[in-house]
Structure 1
Amino acid sequence: MSIRRDESSPPGEMTLAEAVWPGRLRRIVNAVLNHWRVPHLAYVEALLTTELVTNAFRYGCGPEIGYRLSLTERLLWTEVRDGSPNVPVMRHAAPTEESGRGLFLVCSMAANWGVSRDGTMTWCYLSLAGADTAAAPGAVES
């Protein structure tokens, strides 16, 4: 899925038009995972999607955000392309900060996560029950 970025979006922020997308994608994730008969993954996947897409809008560049969710026998794979060659960096937010925990949450809740070699895509996956994900397809060093 491609999501058009608001041309008036200031760097490091989201416009109101962009801010609706994480909620829309949460609803899509819930519907798709129910259809795929893995509703038990919906809560965590919705959180992962929200964090990655929000980061893409805030820190990415280019006219579009790319989002892809796919299911294999072993895992639920999420990709977000933001057009930026800048590799995301996990922050250690102070207790009083209102933001800065997105990648920490992704790292804590996903089975694994990483960034494409060119920096334009952040990915993560959830393991399906009993699946061996040691050699996940498409995995790139994080």
Structure 2
Amino acid sequence: MESHHLTFTLPSTARAVASARRQVLAGLCQWGLEPGSDLLHTIELAASELITNAVKHSHSEPVSVAVRLQGDTVRIDVCDSSPDLPKRRCPTAADENGRGLLIVMAMATQYAVEPTSTGKRCWAEFAVPRGALTTLPSSPSGAVSRTKPGGSSQEWRLPQLPGLCVTKHFPDHLNSPRTGD
């Protein structure tokens, strides 16, 4: 099975989180995940949580995001400049924060946090069930088209988002395989 990857850097602003989430979704749809599927929504929520936490704790430094689809696994890596590793919390019903990483841990097949030389990396992996990916024809404009039942079609294009620098490879520090705890 073909491998796909997408990396980008974003400023640590709340507005950048929504842009990054759209970037992740566009990439996953371009690679063949069904728009609107439970799997896509699950990965979107996890990406949003990981990116939000990184932006919140990055001390105004840029945050890097890498998404990879390899075989039957989607992996999201989010790196920030804070050396402080997240601590598992047990929020009460009245707490407004503290559930994000619990949600990621519940949804992901694997999740981990690792210190890096520049801060930390939080990552999560998601199993892609057999048949969940479809091969999508690409148009000359670079957009991806899908014909829906009934003959109508949809088109997705990786957005050009201000403040995001997109590359088509993983930085070396994200290439090595890792296992969850």
Q: Does the pair score TM above 0.5?
A: yes
In structure 2, the residue matched to 1:133 is none
Q: Which residue of 2 aligns with 1:14?
A: none
The equivalent residue for 1:128 is: 128
The alignment covers a number of residue pairs equal to 124
Match of 1:26 among 21, 30, 33: 21
* Structural RMSD (CA): 1.8
One-letter amino acid of the structure 1 residue matched with residue 11 of structure 2: R
Matched, 1:113 2:111: yes
TM-score, reference length from structure 2: 0.63
Could you tell me how far apart the structure 1 residues matched to 2:99 and 2:120 are? 20
Q: Percent identity between the aligned chains?
A: 26
After TM superposition, the score normalised by the length of structure 1 is 0.78
Q: Which residue of 2 aligns with 1:42?
A: 40
1:83-132 alpha-carbon deviations (Å, 9 max, x no partner): 122111121111011111011000011111001243610000101115xx
Residues 22 and 49 in structure 1, CA contact (< 8 A), matched pair in contact too: no
Question: Is the helix fraction higher in 1 or 2?
Answer: 1
CA offsets, 1:38-97, max 9 Å, x none?
123321111011101111111233621011111000200000001122111121111011
Pick from 95, 98, 110 the counterpart of residue 97 of structure 1: 95
Q: Which one is further off, 51-60 or 111-120?
A: 111-120
What is the DSSP-based 3-state SS (H/G/I as helix, E as strand, rest coil) of the residue aligned with 1:20?
helix
Equivalent in the alignment of 2:9:
2
Whichever structure has more strand as a proportion of its residues is 2
Question: How far apart are 1:25 and its partner, in Å?
Answer: 2.1
Flag structure 1 segments of 5+ consecutive residues without an equivalent. Answer: 6-17, 131-136
Higher relative contact order (CA 8 A, sep 6+): 2
Structure 2: gaps of 5 or more residues: 1-7, 131-175
Q: Do the aligned partners of 2:110 and 2:180 also contact (CA within 8 Å) in 1?
A: no
